Amino acid sequence: MTTINAANAGTYAFDDQFKVNRMGYGVMQLTGPGTWGPYADPENGVKVVKKALEYGVNFFDTADSYGPWFADRYLAAGLKDAANRDQIFISDKVGQTRQGPNVWTPLGEPRYLRQQVEVSMMTLGIDHEDLVFLHRIDPHYSIADQVGELKKLQDEGKIKHIGLSQVTVDQIKEAQQVAKIDAIENLYNVANHGDDDVVDYAASQKMAFLPWFPLATGELAQAGSVLSTMAQKYQVSPAQIALAWLLKRSDNIIPIPGTSSIEHLRDNVAAANVDLTTADFNGLSQLSVK
């Protein structure tokens, strides 16, 4: 019987000491409607995090703006008693403010970014951040000022790795003049991969690439989705096909599908067992909406 384990997707090395399993978990859905306020069933949220650990997930993606901070609380509670806590990698994001449901406003003021890192560490119960993304580049401040503040925090030992979210190749190159960039997180999935150039550049620079919206918030996971025929061929779910495509696309990709359902979590992690043929991968790649 095939095991359900994130390790089946292979690993990605952030440094000489830390390798993560390439099937991660994002906690964005452990919030209220519009990614605002508390999740309706906090106990279940904690259970989902713990179940992800059981399935071999050791890469968790979060952001202070999820709630704000509510998802961080459930993540911290779920990881608190983990036997392998020192082997768990958390990617965090700062630089977005929230004024209500579905409202996201970038703020790259350096002092604000520093505050968010400090508060996030307290909320998560950690003494340093494994990876911090600039959630969005705020056009009111230079990339040098925004990334530069994260570099200062890195120099102080509060951040190990720095990342950028929703950026172009040119913006990555500009940021690289300020600090070493180890990860990129952009919208990317089998039906929308206009950022192929970003994935390839990240791979060439030995940066991890985290695709957010990997299942288009469930649209690609539905029984009647464009992936249904391929799913029937492999006798798996459409969601597993979408995630398997990402895993095969490039070795630097770490999918971070989010869910508040243990059933869906199990299904997502099981995608690590799906090995698409080259012909099927190429066929799916034609679904791109650029």
DSSP string, the chain: -----GGGG-EEESSSS-EEES--EE-TTSSSGGGBS--S-HHHHHHHHHHHHHTT--EEE--TTTBTTHHHHHHHHHHTT-TTGGG-EEEEEE-EEEEETTEEEE---HHHHHHHHHHHHHHHT-SSEEEEEESS--TTS-HHHHHHHHHHHHHTTSEEEEEEES--HHHHHHHHTTS-EEEEEEE-BTTB-TTHHHHHHHHHTT-EEEEESTTTTTGGGSTTSTTHHHHHHHTS-HHHHHHHHHHHH-TTB----B-S-HHHHHHHHHGGG----HHHHHHHHTT---
Mean pLDDT for 41-58 is 97
* pLDDT value of position 290: 45
Buried b / exposed e across 12-25, counting CB within 10 Å, b at 16+?
bebeeebbbbbbbb
| 214: pLDDT strictly greater than 50 | yes
| 234: pLDDT strictly greater than 50 | yes
Residue 55 domain-assigned?
yes
* pLDDT value of position 221: 65
Residue 1 domain-assigned?
no
Domain count, the chain: 1
| 1: pLDDT strictly greater than 60 | no
**Higher-confidence position of 1 and 113:** 113
Q: In which domain, by residue range, is 101 found?
A: 6-285
pTM above 0.85, yes or no: yes
Residue 290 domain-assigned?
no
Mean pLDDT for 248-268 is 96
* pLDDT value of position 226: 73
Query: Average pLDDT of the chain?
Result: 94
**pLDDT over 90, % of the chain:** 84
The domain that contains 34 carries what CATH number?
Answer: 3.20.20.100
| pLDDT per residue as tens digits for the range 139-198 | 999 999 999 999 999 999 999 999 999 999 999 999 999 999 999 999 999 988 889 999
* pLDDT value of position 218: 59
Residue 146 domain-assigned?
yes
Residue 123 domain-assigned?
yes
66 flagged as catalytic:
yes
Which residues, in sequence order, are bridge partners of residue 13? 19
| pLDDT per residue as tens digits for the range 72-112 | 999 999 999 998 888 999 999 999 999 999 999 999 999 99
Residue 214 domain-assigned?
yes
Q: How many CA atoms lie within 13 A of 154 on its CB side?
A: 19
Hey, CA dihedral for 189, 190, 196, 200, is it positive or negative? positive
* pLDDT value of position 229: 86
Residue among 66, 141, 188, 201 flagged as catalytic? 66
Confidence band for 219, pLDDT divided at 50, 70 and 90: low
The radius of gyration computed from the CA coordinates of the chain, to the nearest angstrom, equals: 18
| 28: pLDDT strictly greater than 50 | yes
| pLDDT per residue as tens digits for the range 58-82 | 999 999 999 999 999 999 999 999 9
Q: Which two tokens stand for residue 201?
A: 């550049």
